[in-house]
Amino acid sequence: MKFAFRALLATLLVMFAFTGAWGQPTYCGTTGLLTQPTAQTLNSGNICIGLWGDYSEWGKTPPAEYDATIMPFSVTLGLGSFLEAYGSFPNLMFNDEETDSGRGYALIGTKLRLLGKRSSPVKFAIEGQFRRAVSIDPDVDGLTDFLGRGILSLKIRRFGVHGWGGVLDKEENLAAGIGPFEDIVGYGGGIEFLPIDRLRIIAEAEFYEEDQPIPVEAGEWMAGFQYHLSPHLTINVGYGGPLEGDDIGLAPETRILVGLSSCQGIGSYSRVQRKSLPEEDAVIETKKEPVKTLKIKSLSPLLTRPKQLDVAPATMPQVPDTGDAPESLTDPSPPAIPVVSLPTLLEAAPASTAVEVPVEEVQEITLDSSQNIAKSEAFARNFSEQPVSPLGPPAMGTVDRAAVDTAKKAKVYRRFILPEFSFEVDQFSLSPEGSAALSMIAVELSRDNKWYAMRIEGHTDSTGSERYNNELSYNRAVEYAMHLVAKNGVDASRVFVKGFGESSPLADNNTQEGRSQNRRVELLVLVPAE
């Protein structure tokens, strides 16, 4: 993090040292092709900001005085599960070089995903973008062009390809009686490849063809990578050149982009968590932590049946050994591997202190369904508080077979029943909001080494046959488990997946509202009881 800050400072210093001259704008914009989008939209409630350095070199024709350095700034907002809005300003350095390096556009635009869910391989989106020219050239300054396009993208595992086509409507042409939507046709495409989770390698190309008033063609290419320094900080580096139009000053000979971007909300990759058991004293320490605001509802049989738990130390029934159980695992003393602490994990996570709970209390966390929880800020802010009395000793003493006391009884430490975890009738796919909330929980838990097991429990309403509902509830729970383990790096050995079928409703199955509440997944995070 410190390094990133220093690097940013260095970039700023270097760039302010440049001065430049007047030149010809290009079509591809100031943040270049590195930000050329697929049909994916930013997750709801997330915000991304980027600060870029854009250096362009113009070769022989036009003359080298066109070389320029600018610092564009961009913001993207995820507005809904399929809608994003963005804007950018061409040059925070205010050195009037924006038209040299790239066209000095202040952008505002929105992208709407029409086809394909978040996890679908094929997606289609339409995008509308207003580009207001910011320039020292009075003929161009203040003119607003419009770009409308459709983007189709295909992504299979770690490889993606996308293409787009659209029209660019120039106000200066419109004023000259050309258009609308007749003057410039644009098209382009690119490929992306993710060799590791943190790294995205990109190659893009983009063309514009102008028929009137005179036929003109322009095209640029760029290749680069985006690397996650941390889940919330990405470094973007790109190198590009002309495909067409460099001889008439519509594409630079060389363009170098270096940018830092940060997305708040959910990181698009998460660190793999360590899976050591918490130290006992670490657990005790956390008892001093203040209780943050939480809204508690009494929903759980865990709270209503404490008597069941009050059991004397039990002798274990023998698990008989049979011939078909060759791989018995009872070694009580696994090799001790030194614990490596996770430093500065997700410093930027905004909701990181949202749900701190003292360990000795069994609590349930339920979010008010009227809120848009996917908005991470709201997620952090909108809990209200109500204390719950401790459950008493929820787990009983245990007789460990082995001399080493490794036996742990668990108690519920956190319980998540979020509105995002609910389902439509007969559905088990994870909603974008649910996926965002899951990632947030995973991030939260990875900061917090107290827990050691996670139960993921699927439930259905009472509609349909019991057998079918058993399957459906497993489908739901498995979907969540897959996401947590495969996408968020939760340790698989600590995950317990279970389908309850319709056996454990939260609310009355006779009402629509009740059934909707019953279609859910619950996440239970457990800590050792003693």
Partner 1 sequence: MKNLFIHLVILFILASFSHAAKVKVESASNADSLLNKRDVICTVEFGANSSTLTAEAREVLAGSADRLRSLDLEKKMIRIEGFASPEGDRERNYKLSIERARAVERFLRTHHGVSLDHYITGFGPSLPEEVPAAGKRVVQVTVYDNPWGRADIPVEVTGGE
Contact pick of 371, 377, 507, 516 for partner 1 (by CB under 8 A):
507
Smallest separation, CB 481 to partner 1 (Å): 7
Give, as ranges, the residues between 348 and 377 that touch partner 1 (CB under 8 A): none
Q: Tell me if 29 sits within 8 A of 103, measured CB to CB.
A: yes
Least separation in angstroms between residue 377's CB and partner 1 is 26
CA distances from 483 to 134, 265, 332, 476, 488 (A): 44, 17, 31, 11, 7
403 sits near partner 1 (criterion: CB under 8 A): no
Distance from the Cα of residue 493 to its chain's centroid:
24
What is the amino acid identity at position 56? Answer: S
Q: In the complex with partner 1, which residue's Cβ is closer, 196 or 284?
A: 196
The reply to whether 481 sits near partner 1 by the rule CB under 8 A is yes
312 near partner 1 (CB under 8 A): no
What is the size of the binding site for partner 1 (CB under 8 A)? 108
Per-residue tokens: 396: 């009983």
Told to check if 55 binds partner 1 by CB under 8 A, we report: yes
- Per CB under 8 A, contacts with partner 1 among 113-172 are 157
- Examine residue 388 and tell whether it contacts partner 1 (CB under 8 A): no
Among 26, 31, 43, 69, binds partner 1 (CB under 8 A): 69
Q: Under rule CB under 8 A, which residues in 166-225 are in contact with partner 1?
A: 196, 198
Instruction: Determine contact, residues 221/205, Cβ cutoff 8 Å.
Output: yes
DSSP string, 5-55: HHHHHHHHHHHHT---------TT-TTTGGG---S--PPTT-EEEEEEEEE
- How many angstroms separate the Cα of 176 from the Cα of each of 117, 133, 169, 171, 180? 42, 17, 12, 9, 11
**Of the two residues 290 and 320, which places its CB atom closer to partner 1 in the complex?**
320
What's the closest the beta carbon of residue 28 comes to partner 1, in angstroms?
Answer: 18
* 3 in contact with partner 1 (CB under 8 A): yes
Could you give the C-alpha distances from 74 to 48, 86, 223, 225, 381, in angstroms and in order? 8, 7, 20, 18, 27
Interactions with partner 1, residue window 234-253 (CB under 8 A): 235, 237
Which residues 6+ apart lie within 8 Å of 378 measured at CB? Answer: 45, 371, 372
Among 24, 212, 254, 372, binds partner 1 (CB under 8 A): 254
Instruction: Give yes or no for a contact between 49 and 75, defined as CB atoms under 8 angstroms apart.
Output: yes
Using CB under 8 A, which of 356, 388, 496, 516 touches partner 1?
496
Q: How far is the CB of 6 from partner 1 (least distance, A)?
A: 10
- Selected from 51, 75, 309, 348, the binder of partner 1 by CB under 8 A is 309
